[in-house]
Amino acid sequence: MKLKGKMEEMDGTSERNNAIVDRSKYKKLEMPMFLGENPESWVYRAEHFFEINSLLETEKVKVAMISLGQDEVDWYRWSQNRRKIESWEDLKAEVIGQHPQTLEECMKEAQLVNDRNLALKLAKAELGIGTEE
């Protein structure tokens, strides 16, 4: 009887220790990088990262910033000058809104790039700056 009680105590202790060990392995997870592709997937994974690490709302934007690629950091800095992003919800909406996800959105963005490049080429030609052949 006494032995059985000791075994149950040990099982409870080892179970608690395992929970601590299991919890600490999640702390080693890294915030997923966002390189401008598949924003909904990045948001989904980021939200799980925030939940696992019990991040406060005030910490989420700071942590997300660390996971942005160079182009996305440039975009973030530019958008901060237009409208300050103060919450994770704001950042999430901006990221999803600024990155095309469907074929139609990609085609529209490609057309915008083509239009911009054509406008630059015409402006340079009009000003006599560099001729591209």
Does residue 93 sit in the same domain as residue 104? no
| In a shared domain, residues 69 and 107 | no
Indicate whether 66 pLDDT > 50. Answer: yes
Q: Is 9 found in the same domain as 66?
A: yes
User: Do residue 88 and residue 106 come from a single domain?
Assistant: no
Judged on CB neighbours under 10 Å (0-12, 13-18, 19+), 95 is buried
Indicate the angle between helix axes 57-66 and 39-52, nearest 10 degrees: 130
CB atoms within 10 A of CB 126: 8
90 and 63 part of one domain: yes
Q: What's the mean pLDDT when you consider all of the chain?
A: 77
pLDDT band at 44 (very low <50, low <70, confident <90, very high): very high
Mean pLDDT of 98-120: 75
Answer yes or no: do 29 and 45 share one domain: yes
21 CA to centre of own chain: 27
Domain of residue 108 covers 100-133
pLDDT at 47 over 70: yes
Angle between helices 88-98 and 39-52 (to 10 degrees): 160
H-type helices in 1-102, by residue range? Answer: 2-27, 39-52, 57-66, 70-82, 88-98
What is the C-alpha separation between 67 and 65, in angstroms, rounded? Answer: 5
The domain tally of the chain equals 2
Between 130 and 85, name the one with better pLDDT. 85
- Contact present, 38 and 105 (Cβ < 8 Å): no
pLDDT above 70: residue 125? yes
